[in-house]
Amino acid sequence: MIFRLLLFSSILNFSFLFQIICSKKINFEKVYKDGMYASFLKSEFNYTSFLRRADHTAEKYVPFQDTSNDTFFKVGILHKSQLVNYTKIRMEDQLGTLKNKPWMPINEIREEFANCALLKFGSLSMHDFKYDKGMYGWMNIMKFSCAFVNDQFLVFAMAFTRTRFRLKQVILKRQNTHWATSGRSLITRDVQKITEIFTIRFAHFVNEKLEDEFHKHSVSMKNLEANPLHLKNETFEELAVAYGRLRKHIKLSDSRGHTFSTLAFGIKSRIMLTSPTNAPQAVEAISDELSDAPLKVLDTCHKDICTYDYMKNATFNPKTETYTYAKENALIHTVHPRYSLIAYQKSKPYFTFETMKRKTATGLIDVKQNLDAKAKNLWSSLLDQQFTLAIHVHNQELFPFDRFHMTLDRPS
Protein backbone atom coordinates (compact mmCIF):
# COMPACT_ATOMS: atom_id res chain seq x y z
CA MET A 1 0.00 0.00 0.00
CA ILE A 2 2.80 2.40 0.95
CA PHE A 3 4.61 1.52 -2.28
CA ARG A 4 1.48 2.34 -4.29
CA LEU A 5 1.08 5.69 -2.53
CA LEU A 6 4.73 6.54 -3.20
CA LEU A 7 4.37 5.52 -6.84
CA PHE A 8 1.17 7.56 -7.20
CA SER A 9 2.85 10.55 -5.56
CA SER A 10 5.83 10.26 -7.92
CA ILE A 11 3.53 10.10 -10.93
CA LEU A 12 1.70 13.24 -9.74
CA ASN A 13 4.97 15.08 -9.18
CA PHE A 14 6.24 14.08 -12.61
CA SER A 15 2.94 15.10 -14.20
CA PHE A 16 3.07 18.47 -12.41
CA LEU A 17 6.67 19.01 -13.51
CA PHE A 18 5.77 18.06 -17.09
CA GLN A 19 2.91 20.59 -17.06
CA ILE A 20 5.28 23.33 -15.85
CA ILE A 21 7.80 22.51 -18.57
CA CYS A 22 5.11 22.49 -21.24
CA SER A 23 3.58 25.74 -19.97
CA LYS A 24 7.00 27.41 -20.04
CA LYS A 25 7.52 26.24 -23.59
CA ILE A 26 4.21 27.80 -24.55
CA ASN A 27 5.16 31.00 -22.76
CA PHE A 28 8.52 31.08 -24.46
CA GLU A 29 6.78 30.93 -27.83
CA LYS A 30 4.55 33.80 -26.77
CA VAL A 31 7.60 35.88 -25.94
CA TYR A 32 8.81 35.55 -29.53
CA LYS A 33 5.54 37.12 -30.68
CA ASP A 34 5.64 39.87 -28.06
CA GLY A 35 6.31 43.31 -29.52
CA MET A 36 8.80 44.08 -26.75
CA TYR A 37 10.95 41.11 -27.80
CA ALA A 38 11.37 42.36 -31.35
CA SER A 39 11.68 46.02 -30.36
CA PHE A 40 14.42 45.23 -27.85
CA LEU A 41 16.46 43.21 -30.33
CA LYS A 42 16.03 45.77 -33.09
CA SER A 43 17.05 48.69 -30.89
CA GLU A 44 20.07 46.82 -29.49
CA PHE A 45 21.36 44.70 -32.37
CA ASN A 46 20.31 46.43 -35.56
CA TYR A 47 23.31 48.53 -36.61
CA THR A 48 21.78 49.98 -39.78
CA SER A 49 21.82 53.59 -38.58
CA PHE A 50 25.53 53.32 -37.72
CA LEU A 51 26.35 51.73 -41.08
CA ARG A 52 24.66 54.61 -42.89
CA ARG A 53 27.04 57.07 -41.21
CA ALA A 54 30.25 55.01 -41.15
CA ASP A 55 33.24 55.71 -43.40
CA HIS A 56 33.14 52.75 -45.76
CA THR A 57 36.11 54.03 -47.75
CA ALA A 58 38.47 53.46 -44.81
CA GLU A 59 39.22 49.86 -45.78
CA LYS A 60 40.69 50.98 -49.12
CA TYR A 61 43.40 52.98 -47.38
CA VAL A 62 44.51 50.62 -44.59
CA PRO A 63 47.40 48.42 -45.82
CA PHE A 64 46.33 45.08 -44.35
CA GLN A 65 48.60 42.15 -45.09
CA ASP A 66 45.99 39.75 -43.76
CA THR A 67 43.17 39.45 -41.20
CA SER A 68 41.52 36.49 -39.48
CA ASN A 69 38.51 36.46 -37.22
CA ASP A 70 36.18 34.34 -35.11
CA THR A 71 32.55 35.20 -34.31
CA PHE A 72 29.67 34.25 -32.03
CA PHE A 73 26.00 35.31 -31.81
CA LYS A 74 23.24 34.08 -29.53
CA VAL A 75 19.71 35.11 -28.58
CA GLY A 76 17.97 33.41 -25.65
CA ILE A 77 15.14 33.61 -23.13
CA LEU A 78 15.22 32.79 -19.43
CA HIS A 79 12.34 32.66 -16.97
CA LYS A 80 12.70 35.02 -14.01
CA SER A 81 12.85 32.07 -11.61
CA GLN A 82 16.03 30.82 -13.31
CA LEU A 83 17.86 33.97 -12.21
CA VAL A 84 17.28 33.33 -8.50
CA ASN A 85 20.52 31.35 -8.42
CA TYR A 86 22.37 32.48 -11.52
CA THR A 87 25.34 30.19 -10.78
CA LYS A 88 23.11 27.26 -11.71
CA ILE A 89 22.56 28.53 -15.24
CA ARG A 90 24.02 26.00 -17.64
CA MET A 91 26.21 28.10 -19.87
CA GLU A 92 26.45 25.21 -22.31
CA ASP A 93 22.72 25.59 -22.95
CA GLN A 94 23.04 29.31 -23.54
CA LEU A 95 26.29 29.34 -25.51
CA GLY A 96 26.44 25.92 -27.15
CA THR A 97 29.75 24.17 -27.62
CA LEU A 98 32.65 26.34 -26.50
CA LYS A 99 35.61 24.02 -26.93
CA ASN A 100 36.59 25.79 -30.16
CA LYS A 101 36.23 29.26 -28.61
CA PRO A 102 38.44 29.35 -25.50
CA TRP A 103 38.49 33.15 -25.73
CA MET A 104 34.81 33.48 -24.77
CA PRO A 105 34.46 35.30 -21.40
CA ILE A 106 32.20 32.68 -19.80
CA ASN A 107 32.50 33.89 -16.21
CA GLU A 108 31.78 37.49 -17.23
CA ILE A 109 28.65 36.40 -19.11
CA ARG A 110 27.46 34.47 -16.06
CA GLU A 111 27.91 37.61 -13.95
CA GLU A 112 25.90 39.59 -16.49
CA PHE A 113 22.90 37.35 -15.90
CA ALA A 114 23.15 38.25 -12.20
CA ASN A 115 23.20 41.95 -13.11
CA CYS A 116 20.17 41.50 -15.37
CA ALA A 117 18.08 40.30 -12.42
CA LEU A 118 18.30 43.83 -10.97
CA LEU A 119 17.50 45.68 -14.17
CA LYS A 120 14.70 46.56 -16.52
CA PHE A 121 17.33 46.81 -19.24
CA GLY A 122 21.10 46.39 -19.38
CA SER A 123 23.75 46.73 -22.07
CA LEU A 124 27.47 45.98 -21.85
CA SER A 125 29.89 46.51 -24.73
CA MET A 126 33.66 46.32 -25.00
CA HIS A 127 36.19 47.42 -27.62
CA ASP A 128 39.64 45.94 -27.08
CA PHE A 129 42.29 47.21 -29.51
CA LYS A 130 45.99 46.35 -29.30
CA TYR A 131 48.84 46.82 -31.74
CA ASP A 132 52.50 45.87 -31.55
CA LYS A 133 54.67 46.91 -34.47
CA GLY A 134 56.98 43.93 -33.99
CA MET A 135 54.15 41.36 -33.99
CA TYR A 136 50.56 42.04 -35.05
CA GLY A 137 47.38 43.69 -33.88
CA TRP A 138 43.97 42.55 -32.81
CA MET A 139 40.57 43.98 -32.00
CA ASN A 140 37.90 42.20 -30.00
CA ILE A 141 34.35 43.58 -29.95
CA MET A 142 31.58 42.25 -27.74
CA LYS A 143 28.08 43.24 -26.76
CA PHE A 144 25.69 41.70 -24.25
CA SER A 145 22.21 43.10 -23.66
CA CYS A 146 19.17 41.97 -21.68
CA ALA A 147 15.64 43.19 -20.94
CA PHE A 148 12.56 41.84 -19.22
CA VAL A 149 9.41 41.10 -21.22
CA ASN A 150 6.19 41.20 -19.17
CA ASP A 151 8.33 41.19 -15.99
CA GLN A 152 8.58 37.41 -16.23
CA PHE A 153 10.93 36.56 -19.05
CA LEU A 154 14.44 37.82 -19.62
CA VAL A 155 15.40 38.22 -23.26
CA PHE A 156 19.14 38.38 -23.79
CA ALA A 157 21.45 38.55 -26.78
CA MET A 158 25.20 38.60 -27.22
CA ALA A 159 27.57 39.11 -30.12
CA PHE A 160 31.35 38.69 -30.25
CA THR A 161 34.00 39.13 -32.90
CA ARG A 162 37.69 38.44 -32.39
CA THR A 163 39.95 39.76 -35.15
CA ARG A 164 43.69 39.47 -35.60
CA PHE A 165 45.44 41.51 -38.28
CA ARG A 166 48.84 42.31 -39.73
CA LEU A 167 49.83 45.40 -41.66
CA LYS A 168 52.13 45.26 -44.65
CA GLN A 169 55.77 45.83 -43.85
CA VAL A 170 57.58 48.96 -44.92
CA ILE A 171 60.49 48.54 -47.33
CA LEU A 172 63.42 50.67 -46.22
CA LYS A 173 66.29 52.02 -48.29
CA ARG A 174 68.98 49.62 -49.49
CA GLN A 175 71.46 48.80 -46.74
CA ASN A 176 74.75 47.21 -47.84
CA THR A 177 73.76 44.27 -50.06
CA HIS A 178 70.05 43.82 -49.30
CA TRP A 179 66.76 45.67 -48.95
CA ALA A 180 65.66 45.99 -45.33
CA THR A 181 62.06 45.81 -44.11
CA SER A 182 60.44 47.05 -40.95
CA GLY A 183 57.15 46.62 -39.16
CA ARG A 184 54.69 49.42 -39.74
CA SER A 185 54.24 52.03 -37.02
CA LEU A 186 50.90 53.75 -36.47
CA ILE A 187 49.57 57.28 -36.37
CA THR A 188 46.36 58.12 -34.54
CA ARG A 189 44.41 58.48 -37.80
CA ASP A 190 45.41 54.88 -38.67
CA VAL A 191 43.95 53.71 -35.37
CA GLN A 192 40.67 55.48 -36.03
CA LYS A 193 40.35 53.94 -39.49
CA ILE A 194 41.28 50.42 -38.33
CA THR A 195 38.82 50.46 -35.42
CA GLU A 196 36.05 51.77 -37.66
CA ILE A 197 36.73 49.05 -40.24
CA PHE A 198 36.37 46.28 -37.66
CA THR A 199 33.33 47.97 -36.12
CA ILE A 200 31.71 48.04 -39.58
CA ARG A 201 32.48 44.34 -40.05
CA PHE A 202 30.99 43.61 -36.62
CA ALA A 203 27.86 45.59 -37.52
CA HIS A 204 27.35 43.68 -40.79
CA PHE A 205 27.84 40.35 -39.02
CA VAL A 206 25.30 41.16 -36.27
CA ASN A 207 22.74 42.55 -38.73
CA GLU A 208 22.85 39.30 -40.72
CA LYS A 209 22.45 37.21 -37.56
CA LEU A 210 19.57 39.34 -36.33
CA GLU A 211 17.79 38.97 -39.66
CA ASP A 212 18.21 35.18 -39.41
CA GLU A 213 16.80 35.25 -35.87
CA PHE A 214 13.71 37.21 -36.89
CA HIS A 215 13.19 34.99 -39.92
CA LYS A 216 13.39 31.88 -37.73
CA HIS A 217 10.54 33.13 -35.53
CA SER A 218 8.62 34.88 -38.34
CA VAL A 219 9.15 38.31 -36.80
CA SER A 220 8.92 41.45 -38.92
CA MET A 221 11.03 44.53 -38.13
CA LYS A 222 8.43 46.80 -39.72
CA ASN A 223 6.29 48.98 -37.47
CA LEU A 224 8.30 48.14 -34.36
CA GLU A 225 8.30 50.54 -31.44
CA ALA A 226 11.11 53.08 -31.87
CA ASN A 227 11.60 53.74 -28.16
CA PRO A 228 10.94 50.42 -26.37
CA LEU A 229 12.36 51.73 -23.08
CA HIS A 230 9.92 54.69 -23.10
CA LEU A 231 12.63 57.19 -22.24
CA LYS A 232 11.80 60.87 -22.09
CA ASN A 233 13.42 63.56 -24.20
CA GLU A 234 15.18 64.96 -21.13
CA THR A 235 17.08 61.67 -20.77
CA PHE A 236 18.23 61.81 -24.38
CA GLU A 237 19.31 65.40 -23.81
CA GLU A 238 21.35 64.49 -20.72
CA LEU A 239 23.11 61.72 -22.64
CA ALA A 240 23.80 64.14 -25.48
CA VAL A 241 25.48 66.58 -23.09
CA ALA A 242 27.48 63.84 -21.35
CA TYR A 243 28.72 61.99 -24.44
CA GLY A 244 28.38 64.39 -27.34
CA ARG A 245 28.05 63.43 -30.98
CA LEU A 246 30.11 60.99 -33.00
CA ARG A 247 33.46 62.57 -33.83
CA LYS A 248 35.15 62.66 -37.21
CA HIS A 249 38.63 61.31 -37.92
CA ILE A 250 41.63 63.40 -36.94
CA LYS A 251 43.08 65.22 -39.94
CA LEU A 252 46.07 63.53 -41.53
CA SER A 253 48.14 66.72 -41.31
CA ASP A 254 47.53 66.85 -37.54
CA SER A 255 48.04 63.15 -36.93
CA ARG A 256 51.22 62.27 -38.79
CA GLY A 257 53.51 64.31 -36.55
CA HIS A 258 53.61 61.49 -33.96
CA THR A 259 54.01 57.75 -34.52
CA PHE A 260 53.59 54.80 -32.20
CA SER A 261 55.19 51.35 -32.08
CA THR A 262 52.69 49.95 -29.56
CA LEU A 263 49.25 51.24 -28.73
CA ALA A 264 46.31 49.76 -26.83
CA PHE A 265 42.98 50.66 -25.28
CA GLY A 266 40.22 48.45 -23.93
CA ILE A 267 37.00 50.46 -23.53
CA LYS A 268 34.16 49.06 -21.44
CA SER A 269 30.78 50.81 -21.81
CA ARG A 270 27.72 50.00 -19.71
CA ILE A 271 24.13 51.30 -19.79
CA MET A 272 21.61 50.18 -17.17
CA LEU A 273 17.97 51.08 -16.63
CA THR A 274 16.45 50.15 -13.30
CA SER A 275 13.98 51.36 -10.68
CA PRO A 276 15.32 53.95 -8.22
CA THR A 277 14.91 51.41 -5.41
CA ASN A 278 17.15 48.91 -7.23
CA ALA A 279 19.71 51.50 -8.33
CA PRO A 280 21.93 51.14 -5.21
CA GLN A 281 22.06 47.36 -5.69
CA ALA A 282 22.85 47.77 -9.38
CA VAL A 283 25.71 50.16 -8.57
CA GLU A 284 27.03 47.79 -5.92
CA ALA A 285 26.94 44.89 -8.39
CA ILE A 286 29.36 46.67 -10.72
CA SER A 287 31.36 48.48 -8.02
CA ASP A 288 34.54 46.47 -8.65
CA GLU A 289 34.70 47.83 -12.20
CA LEU A 290 35.10 51.49 -11.24
CA SER A 291 37.56 53.52 -9.20
CA ASP A 292 36.46 55.33 -6.06
CA ALA A 293 35.68 58.75 -7.57
CA PRO A 294 33.07 57.77 -10.22
CA LEU A 295 31.69 55.10 -7.89
CA LYS A 296 31.06 57.74 -5.23
CA VAL A 297 29.21 59.89 -7.78
CA LEU A 298 26.91 56.99 -8.71
CA ASP A 299 26.44 55.81 -5.13
CA THR A 300 25.76 59.11 -3.37
CA CYS A 301 23.88 61.16 -5.97
CA HIS A 302 20.95 63.02 -4.39
CA LYS A 303 20.03 65.06 -7.46
CA ASP A 304 18.16 64.20 -10.63
CA ILE A 305 21.50 63.85 -12.42
CA CYS A 306 25.13 63.48 -11.40
CA THR A 307 28.09 63.09 -13.78
CA TYR A 308 31.82 62.38 -13.70
CA ASP A 309 34.45 62.65 -16.45
CA TYR A 310 38.20 62.45 -15.86
CA MET A 311 41.43 61.27 -17.46
CA LYS A 312 44.46 60.71 -15.24
CA ASN A 313 47.76 62.22 -16.36
CA ALA A 314 50.22 59.89 -18.03
CA THR A 315 52.34 57.52 -15.95
CA PHE A 316 55.69 56.85 -17.61
CA ASN A 317 57.60 53.58 -17.27
CA PRO A 318 61.22 54.35 -18.25
CA LYS A 319 62.09 50.66 -18.46
CA THR A 320 59.57 49.97 -21.24
CA GLU A 321 59.20 53.63 -22.33
CA THR A 322 55.44 53.20 -22.06
CA TYR A 323 52.90 55.90 -21.22
CA THR A 324 49.82 54.65 -19.35
CA TYR A 325 46.59 56.51 -18.69
CA ALA A 326 43.26 55.92 -16.95
CA LYS A 327 40.04 57.42 -18.31
CA GLU A 328 36.54 57.08 -16.84
CA ASN A 329 33.16 58.72 -17.12
CA ALA A 330 29.91 58.05 -15.28
CA LEU A 331 26.33 59.31 -15.26
CA ILE A 332 23.24 58.59 -13.17
CA HIS A 333 19.94 60.19 -14.14
CA THR A 334 17.01 59.51 -11.81
CA VAL A 335 13.40 60.29 -12.70
CA HIS A 336 11.35 59.28 -9.68
CA PRO A 337 9.51 56.95 -9.41
CA ARG A 338 9.81 55.44 -12.88
CA TYR A 339 13.45 54.69 -13.55
CA SER A 340 17.11 55.47 -13.03
CA LEU A 341 19.52 55.45 -15.95
CA ILE A 342 23.12 54.55 -15.12
CA ALA A 343 25.89 54.86 -17.70
CA TYR A 344 29.64 54.65 -17.50
CA GLN A 345 32.80 53.97 -19.51
CA LYS A 346 36.32 53.12 -18.48
CA SER A 347 39.70 52.36 -20.05
CA LYS A 348 43.39 52.06 -19.15
CA PRO A 349 45.06 52.89 -22.48
CA TYR A 350 48.79 52.94 -23.10
CA PHE A 351 51.26 53.60 -25.90
CA THR A 352 54.96 53.63 -26.78
CA PHE A 353 56.36 56.22 -29.15
CA GLU A 354 58.22 55.06 -32.24
CA THR A 355 61.94 55.85 -32.18
CA MET A 356 62.67 57.87 -35.29
CA LYS A 357 65.82 57.62 -37.44
CA ARG A 358 67.65 60.75 -38.60
CA LYS A 359 70.57 60.91 -41.01
CA THR A 360 73.52 63.04 -39.96
CA ALA A 361 77.03 63.62 -41.26
CA THR A 362 78.31 60.84 -38.99
CA GLY A 363 75.51 58.36 -39.80
CA LEU A 364 72.02 57.45 -38.56
CA ILE A 365 71.01 58.42 -35.04
CA ASP A 366 67.94 57.62 -32.94
CA VAL A 367 65.57 60.49 -32.21
CA LYS A 368 63.01 59.94 -29.47
CA GLN A 369 59.65 61.65 -29.46
CA ASN A 370 58.48 63.63 -26.44
CA LEU A 371 55.07 63.88 -24.83
CA ASP A 372 54.73 67.55 -25.65
CA ALA A 373 51.53 69.60 -25.68
CA LYS A 374 50.69 68.60 -29.26
CA ALA A 375 51.17 64.89 -28.50
CA LYS A 376 48.95 65.19 -25.42
CA ASN A 377 46.20 66.88 -27.41
CA LEU A 378 46.48 64.28 -30.17
CA TRP A 379 46.20 61.39 -27.72
CA SER A 380 43.32 63.04 -25.86
CA SER A 381 41.45 63.59 -29.13
CA LEU A 382 41.97 59.95 -30.11
CA LEU A 383 40.57 58.66 -26.82
CA ASP A 384 37.61 61.05 -26.90
CA GLN A 385 36.78 59.86 -30.43
CA GLN A 386 37.12 56.19 -29.48
CA PHE A 387 35.03 56.56 -26.31
CA THR A 388 32.28 58.27 -28.28
CA LEU A 389 32.40 55.64 -31.01
CA ALA A 390 32.22 52.80 -28.49
CA ILE A 391 29.07 54.02 -26.77
CA HIS A 392 27.27 55.44 -29.81
CA VAL A 393 27.66 52.46 -32.11
CA HIS A 394 26.23 49.99 -29.57
CA ASN A 395 23.53 52.23 -28.12
CA GLN A 396 22.14 53.96 -31.17
CA GLU A 397 18.61 54.34 -29.83
CA LEU A 398 19.91 56.41 -26.90
CA PHE A 399 21.42 58.97 -29.27
CA PRO A 400 18.65 59.73 -31.78
CA PHE A 401 20.05 63.23 -32.37
CA ASP A 402 23.15 61.71 -33.93
CA ARG A 403 21.58 59.69 -36.72
CA PHE A 404 21.94 62.20 -39.51
CA HIS A 405 24.40 64.84 -38.31
CA MET A 406 27.96 64.64 -37.04
CA THR A 407 30.18 67.27 -35.49
CA LEU A 408 33.53 67.49 -33.74
CA ASP A 409 32.08 69.56 -30.91
CA ARG A 410 29.99 68.61 -27.93
CA PRO A 411 26.57 70.26 -27.85
CA SER A 412 26.57 73.45 -25.78
Whole-model pTM: value is: 0.86
Average pLDDT rounded to a whole number, residues 293-320 = 94
User: Among residues of the chain, what percentage have pLDDT more than 90?
Assistant: 51
**If pLDDT is split at 50, 70 and 90, which confidence band does 353 have?**
very high
> Phi-psi region for residue 300, left (φ > 0), alpha (ψ -120 to 50) or beta?
alpha
pLDDT > 70 fraction of the chain, expressed in percent and rounded: 85
Buried residues in 187-224 as b, exposed as e (16+ CB within 10 A): bbbbbbbbbbbbbbbbbebbbebbeebbeeeebeeeeb
For residue range 116-132, list pLDDT tens digits in order. Answer: 989 999 999 999 999 99
The whole-number pLDDT of residue 21 equals 39
Residue spans per domain, the chain: 11-402
Q: Are strands 170-175 and 305-317 parallel, antiparallel or unpaired?
A: unpaired
Quick one: which of 134, 107, 393, 139 has its CA closest to 265?
139
